[in-house]
Structure 1
Amino acid sequence: MTDPTDAVVRTGPVRYATAARFARPRPVAADDHRPSSGEICPQLPSRLDAVMGPPLDTRPQGEDCLNLTVTTPALDDGARPVLVWFHGGGFSSGAGLMDWYDGGALAAQGDVVVVGVNYRLGALGYLCLDGISEGNLGLYDQLEALRWVSTHIAAYGGDPGSVTVFGQSAGALSLRLLLEMREARGLLHRAILQSPPLSITARPRTDSEVLGRVFAGLLAEDPRTAGLPAILAAQRETASINLRRSGSTLEPPFLPVKFPAAQDGEPAVATVRGLDVLYGWNADDMTAFPVDDADPAELTRRLYEKPLAHYGVELARSGARVHTYRLDWRPAGSRFGATHCLELPLLLGTREAWRSSPMLGTEPWAEVDALGRAVRAAWIAFARTGTPGPTPAPLSCGRGPEPVWRGEPPRGGPATRPGDI
């Protein structure tokens, strides 16, 4: 049987910007025709390797990492809807170029263009230290990537007037902040936020500077010239100190810095007026971040469901058209249930990329792909129309900030297959 993803065109990596260490990104000059390095941001192993499994592909790591990839049905003037992907990883790991995030199935199924974006991570992207780094550089990288899409995506068969950004976890937190940035207006038209832990979206600048000084003390040399191994070692130690201080298994050491409450005199949420927003979570998100003697279901409600419901009310009051979702799927043989990141293989990547992923348990790939087609159809419909349309039972969707679910998800008990929920 012919794989339909064989018909799509995968282009890249493409360098969308350049940046000196701890400086804001600059668009690539028109006369700069150097091939992309293909690098991803230097990083330590992900804290979610136990859940997702370690990535099976290897990519060169380096600071010339502002690269993206485009997957399109054709290099023509098709003016297709565009979906731009911001990966998760706690602002410390991951990359849009990874095989996990291959957009082939999504592009082939929906006749859409998929863009996967690298951005700077850890101290290189989010260090806040007086005289060294202002913070939020990874966020400015994402903004520059959206500008690249606006300028160049028509040459890849995409419509710059129909851009949906979808992000998961840290990528969804980034998207939430971009929705509040005046500079991002007009660069995206719809947004999908997947399992953002909103309580850790950003830190006050004073707190960020404290952790910046902790990092600098551990590094014990000038961050502007230190070698990458030393920077990553100091990041690891900063993470340990932050965990002891915060007691949070969710909160990474490097986070965006909070923006002022208003930009140009208007409330930040006013920037979402007229946008379509889909947001949601997985029923067992917190099994990926276990806390001793705590109920993951209750933690998921407290750290995902309730903050998202409050955010949805704010969005609706500010003029956004709001839809919500919840994924209740629990793969057979998985001890994690409907955990954090579980929707990723339903949307992106390949059988090979997700081979032996612990969160998929013993679920046959045919079952994963069958549910994946339904989830991809919902995301594609949202990117085209602003509504996800009807969805299968493991994926419950609702309209407005207070959806009526099709029954509560089962709590505990044996893992179930898609048709059992």
Structure 2
Amino acid sequence: MTDRPVVRSGPLRYATAERFARPRPAAADAPAGPAGAVCPQPPSRLDAVMGPPLDRRPQSEDCLHLAVTAPKGRPGSPGRPVLVWFHGGGFSSGAGIRDWYDGGALAAEQDVVVVSAGYRLGALGYLLLDGVSEGNLGLWDQLEALRWVREHIARFGGDPGNVTLFGQSAGALSIRLLMDVPEARGLFRRAILQSAPLAIATRPADEAQDLGRVFAAHLGTDPRTAVPERLLAAQALTAAEQQRRTGNSLAPAFGPVSGVGPLPAEAGPLDSRTGAPDVLYGWNADDMSAFPEGPDDSGSVAGRTRRVFATPLTALRGELERAGARAYGYRLDWRPPGSPFGATHCVEIPLLLGSAGAWRSAPMLGDADWSEVDAIGRRVRATWAAFARGGDPGPMPAPLTALAG
């Protein structure tokens, strides 16, 4: 396919929100705010793997922005397939507008529209505390971003009736949860889940309320008026206490809560009649090399990857197929030369999104030349786009291995 020139528009404001309140939709021409700020956040715990982001951006609670990358020129009717990206980061770091998530190559090669959206993180997005925050605000943000896509993506040449969500880690968990949310039905047609640790998708409301009280005690002042730096400090202390209590170093202290709007207390079985989408799911062969062993997670990288990713995602496939949905599995086996991490968590992202400049300092890429990254990436991008166009990724090219049910 001939590469097309593309335009990346953004940051574009899709919503506004007061602290600890649900988002409100923004007007189509609303300004983005302070230079496309990212949600207040600590450094990522995966900086040693991905490298710190090279695009320095201000932090602000005025952060409900997205970017749209679309080919130039008029598409045929009804428009191009749309892929909406939700980033990972353990619900505590990341931003859709970062250069890592530029969809230029994907849009240019595959004639699709790529949207990358941010959402509130940490306590600002997921605190559950009586009288302060109802919880799951980050999920409400994601819903509002999808509503923006439905209303406005046609202006960028996209087809609002052919939307595929794709996300990695916490972003993939978000997409899996949105599959159970009644308000999300009709907002997307397909889903791509990259390295989703399904066992930590949610926590019970009583546990989240307890962590909320721990957070408030560490903060020592009104969460509604505290400066963001104090919120982040209390968030870090809460995360350390939660890890001491549970021995779980993978689950974030603040993330989605079951039984709190918009999530049901117990999701029923997936049912294609009520919107179970077709799903492409998978993991990286050495996903857990990015995370240190903990008291509740020891053993080889292969064994830990199997427990955290392979076994739960394979079970999800069975649930999807029983619901009548199509499900396709992959394992990414690419181990960049010179990388100590192998086919680690996040290593597929440069194959899909971003540029040589954005990823030039990523330790996980080892000694790989960008020409190698791009050549492999073209095959992966074509697979993702084929699934977005028609719901079938086709034959899996190396270094993807197709997985049987």
Determine the structure 2 residue equivalent to 1:269.
270
Structure 2 Cα separation of the partners of residues 104 and 274 of structure 1 = 29
1:275 Cα offset (Å): 2.0
Out of 340, 361, 364, the position equivalent to 1:359 is: 364
Counterparts of 1:22-171 in structure 2, within 5 Å, are 22-29=20-27, 33-37=30-34, 38-74=36-72, 76=74, 78=76, 79-171=79-171
Which amino acid in structure 2 is aligned with residue 73 of structure 1?
A: P
Structure 2 Cα separation of the partners of residues 347 and 318 of structure 1 = 29
Q: 2:12–2:31: 8 Å Cα contact kept in structure 1? A: no
Q: 2:100–2:350: 8 Å Cα contact kept in structure 1? A: yes
Structure 1 Cα separation of the partners of residues 176 and 230 of structure 2 = 32
Which amino acid in structure 2 is aligned with residue 381 of structure 1?
A: A
Cα distance 1:126–1:331, how it changes in 2: closer, same or farther (>3 A)?
A: same
TM-score by length of 1: 0.90
Counterparts of 1:197-276 in structure 2, within 5 Å, are 197-259=197-259, 267=268, 269-270=270-271, 273=275, 275-276=277-278
Structure 2 Cα separation of the partners of residues 223 and 274 of structure 1 = 38
Structure 2 Cα separation of the partners of residues 245 and 369 of structure 1 = 43
Determine the structure 2 residue equivalent to 1:319.
324
1:34 Cα offset (Å): 3.5
Which amino acid in structure 1 is aligned with residue 402 of structure 2?
A: C
Out of 285, 288, 311, the position equivalent to 2:287 is: 285
Unaligned runs of 5+ in 1: 404-421
Structure 2 Cα separation of the partners of residues 262 and 378 of structure 1 = 31
1:270 Cα offset (Å): 2.6
TM-score by length of 2: 0.94
Structure 1 Cα separation of the partners of residues 299 and 90 of structure 2 = 21
Indicate the SS of the match to 2:270.
helix
Q: 1:77–1:155: 8 Å Cα contact kept in structure 2? A: no
Indicate the SS of the match to 1:146.
helix
Out of 363, 370, 376, the position equivalent to 2:381 is: 376
Which amino acid in structure 1 is aligned with residue 284 of structure 2?
A: N
- The alignment covers a number of residue pairs equal to 396
1:33 Cα offset (Å): 3.7
Indicate the SS of the match to 1:105.
helix
Cα distance 1:266–1:61, how it changes in 2: closer, same or farther (>3 A)?
A: closer
Q: 1:191–1:277: 8 Å Cα contact kept in structure 2? A: yes
Structure 2 Cα separation of the partners of residues 4 and 36 of structure 1 = 32
Which amino acid in structure 1 is aligned with residue 270 of structure 2?
A: V
Out of 334, 337, 343, the position equivalent to 1:329 is: 334
Cα distance 1:371–1:77, how it changes in 2: closer, same or farther (>3 A)?
A: closer
Structure 1 Cα separation of the partners of residues 393 and 249 of structure 2 = 32
Which amino acid in structure 1 is aligned with residue 169 of structure 2?
A: S
Q: 1:76–1:156: 8 Å Cα contact kept in structure 2? A: no
1:147 Cα offset (Å): 0.3
Structure 1 Cα separation of the partners of residues 197 and 30 of structure 2 = 39
1:243 Cα offset (Å): 1.4
Which amino acid in structure 1 is aligned with residue 360 of structure 2?
A: R
Which amino acid in structure 2 is aligned with residue 283 of structure 1?
A: A
Cα distance 1:361–1:225, how it changes in 2: closer, same or farther (>3 A)?
A: same
Unaligned runs of 5+ in 2: none
Structure 1 Cα separation of the partners of residues 323 and 299 of structure 2 = 35
Counterparts of 1:293-312 in structure 2, within 5 Å, are 294-312=299-317
Determine the structure 2 residue equivalent to 1:410.
none
1:35 Cα offset (Å): 4.3
Q: 1:274–1:321: 8 Å Cα contact kept in structure 2? A: no
1:364 Cα offset (Å): 1.2
